[in-house]
Structure 1
Amino acid sequence: MIQRRQKRAPIVEALEEFKRARIMPFDVPGHKRGKGNSELTDFLGERCVSVDANSQKCLDNLGHPVSVIKEAEEIAAEAFGANHAFLIVNGTSSAVQAMILSVCKKDDKIILPRNVHRSAINALVLCGAVPIYVNPQLNQQLGISLGMSMADFEKAIIENPDAKAVFVNNPTYYGICSNLKAITDLAHKYGMKVLVDEAHGTHFYFHNSLPLSAMEVGADMAAVSMHKSGGSLTQSSLLLTGENINHDYVRQIINLTQTTSASYILMSSLDLSRRNLALHGESIFARVIEQAEYAREEINHIGDYYAYSKELVNGDTIYDFDITKLSVNTLNIGLAGIEVYDILRDEYDIQVEFGDLGNFLAYISVGDRDR
């Protein structure tokens, strides 16, 4: 029954019906299905601008969904094993901020690693919560920050038993995972909510060879960047909640900062990408894993470059590793990661995700093919 429901894409179905209805638009957006700007229509295509619509009865409203968006969120929750899922069109940054704003108020404490995304820090500025930092250890050879050690995390909890929440990266940009299950269990023992930044972990929900996901270990909330590894359009995201979260209250918090002019192009991309992952995610990410492992092996055969993987796992600060991440250390060849980044882009027309002083990251995901 659930698998049959995953074949649905309620928002897309509503948009197709909307197009067939040929409704005369005297509402926004002002381009009126592309008729007001032929250059825009030529650039984006008629199919795209024709579904750039405003909220209305047949299309529901993201701020207070009662029909097709509500159903799309319910189906997404089922796909990710969550109690509730919210469609986010302001990027995962707004999902991260909604998590923190929904559980922390002024002067509340929240335990978090120092290597969090700027959106988490911005949320603290907005709500006035007090950060209790856990300093992640460093891998000196690679020059990357790791996950939280359980000893450091437990020390922070014992010293701050009044903290309202803990915040965890799953994984880091480089693919490093902390012991999310143990962190979640300990935080819950002390009555703290567990908020997980899974901006780079969408795929964890769809293949059992990958690290555990937030919902799988019983975390309370997770911000999931569907557009990064899940295949939806840039800026589209999901906010997942567990059974101990009041989703009506979370909706109110989301509506404080999320646009009232939600893009149906972004929402339909979430709908279609969720369907694709729910129906084909296991085979998709099996291929992604195979591609990443092949690339790692070939890079390591070159010499001096080091594409690292699960050999780093130490059961603590690197509890697990996301093997879809092609993270490559460049220091042994005498080049900074950012220099290799520039060489790949400028001389070989290859765009990788980022470069730092000692590493670059190539992102392998839904859209990659062998050739």
Structure 2
Amino acid sequence: MKDQSKMPLMEALQRMRHERLVPFDVPGHKHGKGNPQLTEFLGEKCLSVDVNSMKPLDNLCHPVSVIKEAEELAADAFGAAQSFFMVGGTTSAVQTMILSSVKSGDEIILPRNVHQSVINALVLCGAVPVYINPQMNKKLGIALGMSIDDVKRTIVMHPNAKAILVNNPTYYGICSDLKQITQIAHEKGLLVLVDEAHGTHFYFGKDMPVSAMAAGADMAAISMHKSGGSLTQSSLLLCGEKVNANYVRKIINLTQTTSGSYLLLSSLDISRRNLALWGEETFEKVKNFAQYAREEINAIGDYYAYSKELMNGDSVFDFDTTKLSVNTLDLGLAGIEVYDLLRDEYGIQIEFGDLGNILAYISVGDKNKNIERLISALSEIRRIYKKDNKNMLDTEYISPTVVISPQEAFYAEKTSLPLAECGGRVCTEFVMCYPPGIPILAPGERITQEIIAYIQYAKDKGCVVTGPESMDISRLNVWEGEENG
């Protein structure tokens, strides 16, 4: 084990700060002196370390000193053979996993309820998705994990597939049997890629679901800025022993900035140290907060804060108990409506609300009084705003029909049609509610009347629908190569 109390990158920045260098390099604000309004807003200490690469601070594109050491410490802390500091968010880590594993024409197996970054990567590289449509929990209206039987069947049907990608956990806390999926895939020669954006704490907490590296996966994308405490947009890419890390670095450098932010990089260094030294204690506190909130919310009535009781040994192999996921359908309110009420009427900002659920993200930064305030607000919302739940949409996922590949559709000749007239046509762009950023439609998929009704319902309920060129989602771009299906 390496000395996890060290913070080589942060320490190098501190040394630089004390050297009182005269800057004749970028950024042009020159340690904040050229932009006093920004310095006043963010603070002099922050601006003094918003610097460019220089020899004592190493270079993110080709690290040989302090960044290299910081990445090695992170790999050691997470049980990986190699880690990479990512400043383009977990989106860039996910895309690197895919771009380094498959190329044009290759098949990759993945659940359809992936984040948009996955399908964006397929647009870039031309790989062909083989979707496993997830099983559903109809009561909650959410997609579950990957069934082992579905994984086996899909691998047999697609013997030339090069990789499989797994969401672990999902936004709602659902975990697949990652260890068995990894074993099955490796026996058939497939690489195992894990979108572990919401699972940083799996590596440090006690009695957590298995982490990607512990399960033997080849690569994992980690959102350190979610449960790990680093700055927004800072993430890690972890690699197993059999991955060619030098090639992965080349792929990263295809798309990641050559001007990596030292604010983001140092936050990764500091947060890794905190997790390595105090992660177990930290996440025990988070689990206790979430469990207390679950019990109190369920006692209110009509809400359902779910947990390990959903486990079925397969598509819900495990559950992340740090997640405070709450179903709102029995209240007669969509999750997004509860989200808006909490924000607008009670001054509480939760992570997201969809058509049937909300997610309140619990972290070590929370306090008992904040948890109590959330519980009280939810109780009052039930008392004041509860209504009949007839005509509530009961699902958050519609299985799509893939007609052509994402890349072919994205770059195809297209025409713009009013949303209501798109039934039967093939979509050439994304449509999604954000968050969570899981596409309702992706390029190459058939637009059905059910999907059109879903999009309109989501708009009417107040979901933030993004993706199309038409900013008000009144029109969609469709493939000219096919008439109505």
Tell me whether 1:155 sits opposite 2:148 in the alignment: no
Distance 2:131 2:250 in 1: 28
Distance 2:31 2:333 in 1: 50
Distance 1:194 1:366 in 2: 31
Which runs of 5 or more structure 1 residues have no equivalent in the other structure? Answer: none
Residue 293 of structure 1 corresponds to which residue in structure 2? 291
CA contact (8 A) 2:168 2:195 kept: yes
CA contact (8 A) 1:84 1:247 kept: yes
CA contact (8 A) 1:230 1:366 kept: no
Report matched runs for 1:89-128 at 5 Å. Answer: 89-128=87-126
The DSSP-based 3-state class of the residue aligned with 1:182 is helix
Matched pairs, number:
369
Among 22, 31, 34, the alignment partner of 1:33 is 31
Residue 12 of structure 2 corresponds to which residue in structure 1? 14
CA contact (8 A) 2:351 2:360 kept: yes
Residue 413 of structure 2 corresponds to which residue in structure 1? none
Residue 54 of structure 2 corresponds to which residue in structure 1? 56
Instruction: Please tell me the root mean square deviation across aligned C-alpha atoms, in Å.
Output: 0.7
What's the TM-score, normalizing by structure 2?
Answer: 0.76
Distance 1:208 1:280 in 2: 12
Deviation of 1:210 (Å): 1.2
What's the TM-score, normalizing by structure 1?
Answer: 0.99
Residue 133 of structure 1 corresponds to which residue in structure 2? 131
The one-character-per-residue Cα deviations of 1:4-62 (angstroms, maximum 9, x if unpaired) are x1000010000000001111100000000000011111000000000001000000000
Distance 1:49 1:224 in 2: 27
Residue 196 of structure 1 corresponds to which residue in structure 2? 194
The DSSP-based 3-state class of the residue aligned with 2:277 is helix
Distance 1:192 1:352 in 2: 38
Residue 208 of structure 1 corresponds to which residue in structure 2? 206
Deviation of 1:90 (Å): 0.5
Report matched runs for 1:1-371 at 5 Å. Answer: 2=2, 5-371=3-369
Distance 1:370 1:66 in 2: 44
Structure 1's consecutive aligned runs of 4 or more residues displaced over 4 angstroms after TM superposition are none
Deviation of 1:370 (Å): 2.2
Distance 2:351 2:37 in 1: 31
The DSSP-based 3-state class of the residue aligned with 1:103 is coil
The DSSP-based 3-state class of the residue aligned with 2:236 is strand
CA contact (8 A) 2:324 2:362 kept: yes
The DSSP-based 3-state class of the residue aligned with 1:314 is coil
The one-character-per-residue Cα deviations of 1:218-265 (angstroms, maximum 9, x if unpaired) are 000000000011000000000000001000000000000000010000
Query: AA paired with 2:198?
Result: H
Distance 1:370 1:278 in 2: 25
Distance 1:94 1:44 in 2: 26
Instruction: Using CA pairs under 8 Å that are at least 6 residues apart, name the structure with larger relative contact order, 1 or 2.
Output: 1
The DSSP-based 3-state class of the residue aligned with 1:194 is strand
* Higher Rg of the two aligned structures: 2
Distance 1:15 1:179 in 2: 42
Distance 1:89 1:366 in 2: 23
Query: AA paired with 1:290?
Result: N
Query: AA paired with 1:174?
Result: Y
Which runs of 5 or more structure 2 residues have no equivalent in the other structure? Answer: 370-485
CA contact (8 A) 2:206 2:284 kept: no
Deviation of 1:208 (Å): 2.8
